[in-house]
Amino acid sequence: MKERLAINGGSPALPNGLPGAGGGPGVSLMDDREVVAVAEVLRSGRLFRFIEGSHVRAFEQEAAQWIGVEHALMVNSGTSALICALIGAGIGPGDEVIVPAYTYIATAAAVVAVGAVPIIAEIDTSLGLDPADAEAKITPFTRAIIPVYMQGVPARIQAIMDVAARHGLKVIEDACQCIGGTYRGKVVGTFGGAGAWSLNFFKVISAGEGGLVFTKDYQVYERACFASDPALPMWMKENIAQEGWETQPFSFQCYRPSEMLGAVARVQLSRLERILEHTRSLKRAFLQALEEPRGYSLQHVDDPEGDCGISAAILVHDADLAARYAEALTAEGLPCGTAHNEGFPDRHIYRYWDSILHKSAFHPNASPWTHPAYRGNVEYSPDMCPRTLGILNRALRFGFNMRMSAEHARQMAHAVNKVDAAFAA
């Protein structure tokens, strides 16, 4: 049954709109527990991670246990976590690392930071890395693949692991937007050599800033530790170095997080189950209320069970129609736009990663692209991943947040149903 669209003067599907997110799910739940945790750190005067009773250390242990890995290292950001993971896995100058064309620029920037060359591969209708295109972009210089789990949705992890296994590549998982997501029953980030979380303002849980690198492999962990703090081998010596190091300690940068971040992160981790329960229930309510789609298909989700439920995306059949859907949905009280539109330079889309496309380095002699160890020859251009742009031109994404109820989710679905029925008749 067709209802009159709000854009044509009908009554909107969401007459009161939607409650604002107020940051990521974790931030929107912050209350006195986080405040007290920080105040206690300050009162204690113990503001260094290598002092007895460290919250950073406790967070690492609690997170490792939650994830199901032996080792976790907290750092000051998700970008730092990716850098430490790459260094942990032995990636460096001369190496190529495959990244998806749709991810936050930090994924590619982390590759450049370790002196390696990012290779940009297409996404598919999962909005994650297309395993076939990743495989097609492998060269003799490729050493690793970084799948990214955008907006809480695990990508085609098994297929990517299969590609990596066939070619002897490492996998570093960018789970910055997918904290707590699972794939076939295992927490994402535990499939490859290392995983990374970001705890910035927008993520599933947050300490304002912060990151975590985690792995089952002690050697990766040890190298990540060296990469994160030049003095760390001295600090760690007492407890873990009696038998010596597996790798000769090296010095790199300093990504040491503050004890206040550690204290907040612990409180946030304790909220993770409740966050996922709520966001997943919202997404389920949304999906259940959708009618049979006519003018669109849903984003492919390989394992819906493991989806964090913080977003849903529809792929409208063509780009012009998608723009019309977006306009009509916004009028219904469900603000949205196509993921890629010329007016808005989204740093999650490769064509806006100017520093990468221009192969800019902080110093001309430190460029990964002209490093003597690099024998490859990659060319970038804004149009190099047309399938990715084609998909993002048709993609409309909706977020679910902690202030929404199941009724909001059903109203969102109602808006989609209304617009779809009106336009695809």
Ligand X SMILES: *Cc1c(COP(=O)(O)O)cnc(C)c1O
Stretch that binds ligand X, among 61-69, 99-107, 264-272, 331-339 (CB under 6 A): 99-107
- Give the nearest distance from C-beta 350 to ligand X in angstroms: 13
Among 24, 78, 295, 333, binds ligand X (CB under 6 A): 78
Determine, following the binding rule CB under 6 A, whether residue 188 of this chain makes contact with ligand X: no
Instruction: Single out the residue of 348, 170, 205 nearest to residue 160, CA to CA.
Output: 170
Nearer to ligand X, 195 or 295 (CB): 195
Q: Which two structure tokens, joined as six digits, stand for 313? A: 């995306």
- Give the nearest distance from C-beta 328 to ligand X in angstroms: 29
Determine, following the binding rule CB under 6 A, whether residue 107 of this chain makes contact with ligand X: yes
Nearer to ligand X, 258 or 411 (CB): 258
Among 54, 190, 200, 215, binds ligand X (CB under 6 A): 200
Nearer to ligand X, 211 or 399 (CB): 211
Q: If you search the block for the tokens 């229930």, which residue do you land on?
A: 281
Among 13, 26, 41, 79, binds ligand X (CB under 6 A): 79
Query: What does the buried/exposed string (b/e) look like for 347-386 if buried means 16 or more CB atoms within 10 Å of the residue's CB?
Result: ebbbbebeebbeeebeeeeebbbebeebeeebebeeebbe
Nearer to ligand X, 38 or 111 (CB): 111
Cα separation, 98 vs 117, whole angstroms? 9
Distances (CA, A) of 304 to 158, 179, 324, 391, 401: 14, 15, 28, 20, 18
- Give the nearest distance from C-beta 79 to ligand X in angstroms: 3
Where does residue 345 rank: exposed (0-12), middle (13-18), buried (19+ CB within 10 A)?
exposed
Determine, following the binding rule CB under 6 A, whether residue 258 of this chain makes contact with ligand X: no
Determine, following the binding rule CB under 6 A, whether residue 268 of this chain makes contact with ligand X: no
Cβ proximity of 188 and 182 under 8 Å: yes
Determine, following the binding rule CB under 6 A, whether residue 388 of this chain makes contact with ligand X: no
Please state at what angle helix 78-88 crosses helix 218-228, rounded to 10 degrees. 130
The type of residue at 70 is E
Cα separation, 140 vs 143, whole angstroms? 8
- What angle is formed at CA 77 by the lines to CA 71 and CA 83, rounded to 5 degrees? 65
Stretch that binds ligand X, among 104-112, 186-194, 215-223, 318-326 (CB under 6 A): 104-112
Residue count, binding to ligand X (CB under 6 A): 14
Among 29, 106, 145, 264, binds ligand X (CB under 6 A): 106
Stretch that binds ligand X, among 73-81, 88-96, 323-331, 408-416 (CB under 6 A): 73-81
Stretch that binds ligand X, among 87-95, 101-109, 287-295, 369-377 (CB under 6 A): 101-109
Nearer to ligand X, 49 or 348 (CB): 348
Determine, following the binding rule CB under 6 A, whether residue 103 of this chain makes contact with ligand X: yes
Cβ proximity of 109 and 99 under 8 Å: no
Nearer to ligand X, 78 or 154 (CB): 78
Stretch that binds ligand X, among 31-39, 71-79, 88-96, 285-293 (CB under 6 A): 71-79
Q: Which two structure tokens, joined as six digits, stand for 164? A: 């990596």
- Give the nearest distance from C-beta 353 to ligand X in angstroms: 12
Cβ proximity of 114 and 371 under 8 Å: no
Nearer to ligand X, 13 or 81 (CB): 81
Determine, following the binding rule CB under 6 A, whether residue 148 of this chain makes contact with ligand X: yes
Stretch that binds ligand X, among 171-179, 229-237, 241-249, 350-358 (CB under 6 A): 171-179
Among 30, 89, 129, 176, binds ligand X (CB under 6 A): 176
CB atoms within 10 A of CB 207: 31
Cα separation, 143 vs 384, whole angstroms? 21
Determine, following the binding rule CB under 6 A, whether residue 128 of this chain makes contact with ligand X: no
Secondary structure class of 251 (helix, strand, coil): coil
**Regarding beta strands 311-316 and 395-399, do their DSSP bridges make them parallel or antiparallel, or are they unpaired?**
antiparallel
Helices then strands, each counted (H, E), the chain: 14, 12
Nearer to ligand X, 213 or 389 (CB): 213
Nearest residue by C-beta to ligand X? 78
Stretch that binds ligand X, among 10-18, 173-181, 275-283, 410-418 (CB under 6 A): 173-181
Q: If you search the block for the tokens 């206690």, which residue do you land on?
A: 40
**Considering just the CA atoms, what is the radius of gyration of the chain in Å?**
22
**Regarding beta strands 117-121 and 96-100, do their DSSP bridges make them parallel or antiparallel, or are they unpaired?**
parallel
- Give the nearest distance from C-beta 260 to ligand X in angstroms: 16
Determine, following the binding rule CB under 6 A, whether residue 228 of this chain makes contact with ligand X: no
User: Which residues are near ligand X by CB under 6 A?
Assistant: 77-79, 103-104, 106-107, 148, 174, 176-177, 198, 200, 211
